[in-house]
Amino acid sequence: MPRPRPPEFRPRAVELARTDKSVTALAKSLGISQSCLRDWIRRAEIDDGHLDGLSAGDQKELVELRRKARKLELENEILKRAGAYFARENVLPK
Q: Would the pTM count as exceeding 0.75?
A: no
Ranges of each domain in the chain:
1-53, 55-94
Average pLDDT, the chain: 89
**CA 63 to CA 70: how far, in whole Å?**
11
Which pLDDT does position 81 carry in this prediction?
93
Whole-angstrom distance, CA of residue 15 vs CA of residue 22: 13
Q: Report the distance separating Cα 50 and Cα 2, nearest Å.
A: 28
CA atoms within 13 A on the CB side of 30: 25
- pLDDT at 92 exceeding the cut of 60: no
Q: Which of 47, 67, 50, 68 lies closest to 58, judged by CA?
A: 47
CATH class of 1-53: mainly alpha
